[in-house]
Amino acid sequence: MSINYAEKIPNNVDLGSDRQLQRALERWQPAFLNWWGEMGPDGDFQAKDVYLRTATSVDAKGWATYGHVKMPDYRWGIFLADQVKDRTIGFGDNFGQPVWQQVPGEFRSDLRRLIVTQGDTEPASVEQQRMLAYTCPSLYDMRNLFQVNVEEGRHLWAMVFLLHAYFGRDGREEAEELLERHAGDINNPRILTTFNEPIDDWMSFFSFTYFTDRDGKFQLKMLAESAFDPLSRTCRFMLTEEAHHMFVGETGLGRVIKRALEVMKELNTDDPQRIRDHGAMDLGLVQKYINFWYSSSLDLFGADQSTNAAAYFANGIKGRPDEDKFDDHIEAETTFSLEEPTEDGKDVQSIEVPTRNAMNLLARQGYSRDCDIGVVRWNRMIRKAGVDFDIRLPSDRFRRTVGPFAGFHFAPDGSPIGKDAYDSNLDDWIPSETDKAHVKAQMKQVTEPGKMAAWIAPPDRGINNNPVDHDYVKL
């Protein structure tokens, strides 16, 4: 389906045929642009020409069209994947019945809450990252940051369209509130804790785009299974753009690791302090950032046992990622084994629960397997360099604030540990103030085309077959 860029709000949903909806969204549009100007990338960057990718259609040929554009002129809009003819509900008690084109009254509140929560994460990450361009390690990276930002803005538009089109006055009010909450705001923060964490250095940015945006991928995959067809179609197209965000994270951390290996070879040492003195990030420091952002992102899946998740699945509202890969799409009588700490927190035990109640855990386990793909690639690079170091994802029990392990103390390897020992070792497991000070000291902007900061290696290739030294942002 082609996208109509002649309209004030680009779209492929024939917005012009619904004048009331079009007027409502056109009233919201100035508020969005005002938010972008105040909370999007800071400073003069808004006036610069950036080599951005824009969708012109939702098929494989047209979803990525490149050219220089100023970010405020980026054509945000409403893009839904093509409708699947005769699509039926793929899971739960209504399995096999036709999907819904309108919101069933009994599920109105649940669907609105899910859409608002997803929508709230999109502008939150833009707000978290708004100052990063001042410390970009290269023009290539600055451009990737801005590409992520404008796509998060468009994903906000996707959720706002659903709120306006299907939820009446309540939806319009929720859409307004999406622009009123702000990441890290003490009085009016974003809904999910991870989206209030500061992202004021590029190690955090690369970790966020690898781990937290990957949670976004899995949330979108679950919503893409929804019986509410407009939500499914919206999320299916958003997943196409989400892949780039995770690419930025995986290759970014990979380039940090590659540079560390180069410095280790140059200096013939694995001493972390000497590597830091040379202006690079040692592998232990990379591991600490992975420990922090992976454990933070796990909490976004919610509790391992959840009656809400069970109800969403039973009612066809939110499924499992890649539902068609499962044999049983109803799971009415099955059980699933999960872990929980013993009452004293000194050991772990397994319990059986209804599979429907474990839907968050099933999604989270798939997420962990997906995260491990990048870890395998990074370790392959490390082994090829002849260095004896393994990057590992920490245990799912480590540093949890949601689920059965919240309030208990476990080391990154999953072993139980006393509170005093946990507190005294925490700086060895996640970035300490000393670590953060070192990282921030390296955060110096590099804007000469093709040049890189000393702490990161160049990418293997440029964007859209352009060289690495292409003028990606015209400063």
- Taking only the tens place, the pLDDT of each residue in 148-178 is 999 999 999 999 999 999 999 999 999 999 9
Please return the burial class of 327, using the count of CB atoms within 10 Å of its CB with bins 0-12, 13-18 and 19+.
Answer: exposed
* Separation CA 383–CA 388 (nearest Å): 7
The structure's pTM equals: 0.97
Phi/psi region, residue 403 (left: phi>0; alpha: psi -120 to 50; beta: rest), is left
Residues 198, 161, 151: CA angle, nearest 5 degrees: 40
Structural domains of the chain ordered from first start: 15-289+428-474 (1.10.620.20)
Assess whether pLDDT exceeds 70 at residue 1.
no
410 neighbors 285 (Cβ within 8 angstroms): no
Q: What is the pLDDT of residue 40?
A: 97
Arithmetic mean of pLDDT, 310-325: 97
For 415, how many CA atoms within 13 A lie in the half-sphere containing its CB?
5
pLDDT above 70: residue 468: yes
Res 421: pLDDT: 97
Examine the pLDDT at 51 and tell me if it is beyond 70.
yes
* Band (58; pLDDT cuts 50, 70, 90): confident
Interatomic CA distance for residues 114 and 179, integer angstroms: 17
Residue 11's SS3 state is strand
For residue 6, what pLDDT is reported?
87
How many CB atoms lie under 10 A from the CB of residue 8? 12
Going 289 to 294 to 300 to 305, the CA torsion angle's sign is: negative
Instruction: Give the dihedral sign, CA 82/88/89/91.
Output: negative
pLDDT digits (tens, 9 = 90+) for 234-280: 999 999 888 899 999 999 999 999 999 999 999 999 999 999 999 99
- By DSSP bridging, strand 348-354 and strand 335-341 are antiparallel
State the Cα–Cα distance between residues 164 and 19, nearest whole angstrom: 12
H-helix or E-strand containing 255? helix 229-267
- In this model, does residue 430 exceed pLDDT 90? yes
Q: 213 and 199 in contact (C-beta within 8 Å)?
A: no
The per-residue pLDDT of the chain, averaged, comes to 96
Helix (H) or strand (E) holding 327: none
The reported pLDDT for the residue numbered 5 is 87
Rg over alpha carbons for the chain, rounded to the nearest Å, is 23
Q: In whole angstroms, give the CA distance from residue 417 to residue 408.
A: 9
Flag whether pLDDT at 62 surpasses 70: no
- ∠ Cα 126 57 220 (to 5°): 45
Highest mean pLDDT among 1-5, 58-62, 425-429: 425-429
Q: How many residues does the chain have?
A: 475
Q: In the prediction, which pLDDT does 55 show?
A: 85
What is the arrangement of strands in the sheet containing 65-70, beginning at the earlier edge strand?
Answer: 65-70, 49-54, 473-474
Amino acid at 154: R
The gap from C-alpha 92 to its chain's centroid, in whole angstroms, comes to 27
Reported as a single tens digit per residue, the pLDDT across 23-46 is 999 999 999 999 999 999 998 999
Mean of pLDDT values over 272-296: 98
> How buried is residue 239: exposed, middle or buried, by Cβ count under 10 Å (0-12/13-18/19+)?
middle
Give the pLDDT score at 240: 86
Distance, in Å, from the CA atom of 393 to the CA atom of 413, rounded to the nearest integer, reads: 9
Per-residue pLDDT band for 196 (boundaries 50, 70, 90) equals: very high
Does the pLDDT of residue 212 top 70, yes or no? yes
Nearest to 358 by CA among 303, 402, 297: 303
Calpha distance 220→225 (Å, rounded): 9
Question: Do residues 189 and 274 touch, judged by C-beta distance below 8 A?
Answer: no
Measured CA to CA, the distance from residue 254 to residue 384 in angstroms comes to: 13
Mean pLDDT of 61-87: 91
| Angle subtended at Cα 78 by Cα 72 and Cα 83, rounded to the nearest 5 degrees | 155
Mean pLDDT along residues 390-399: 98
Mean pLDDT of 196-214: 97
| Per-residue tokens: 207 | 């970790």
Kindly tell me if the per-residue pLDDT of 399 is higher than 70: yes
User: By the 8 A CB rule, do 327 and 221 touch?
Assistant: no
When pLDDT is cut at 50, 70 and 90, the band that residue 63 belongs to is low
